[in-house]
Amino acid sequence: MKFMTLVVEPVEKIAEISAASDKVWADVPKGNRPEASYVLLCVPRFDIPPNSIVAFGISESDSADSIAARNYPLMLAGATAVHVIPILEVPVTGAAKAEKKYRG
């Protein structure tokens, strides 16, 4: 299943969080397939703490264990929030067909 992971990172912890992220992705946990990673140029919500950066990634994971193996080191390094959000991929020109499929 695909997931979007939002990570809120205090700027004073960026070096530690970046190092932890590099270490995790250098040895990708079994059952996890990274697809993309981004840093937002603005905060997506107004309740994000000041002096924070928000990053997000999209990946596929087979289990909660593989998600935890990826995110726990980031939390230990100082990420103040890690949100894992399941996402459903819908083709750009196939939304009506997907809607019928998932309606049941």
CATH of residue 36's domain is: 3.30.70.60
Query: Model confidence over 42-65: pLDDT tens digits?
Result: 888 888 999 999 999 999 998 888
Query: Model confidence over 74-92: pLDDT tens digits?
Result: 999 999 999 999 998 888 8
Query: In sequence order, what DSSP letters do the residues of 23-81 get, joined into one string?
Result: HHHHTPPTTEEEEEEEE-SS-SSTTSPSSEEEEEEEEEESSHHHHHHHHHHHHHHT-SE
User: Which residues span the domain enclosing 80?
Assistant: 2-103
State if pTM tops 0.85: no
Structurally, the chain folds into a number of domains equal to 1
Q: What is the CA radius of gyration of the chain?
A: 15
Amino acid 53: pLDDT: 93
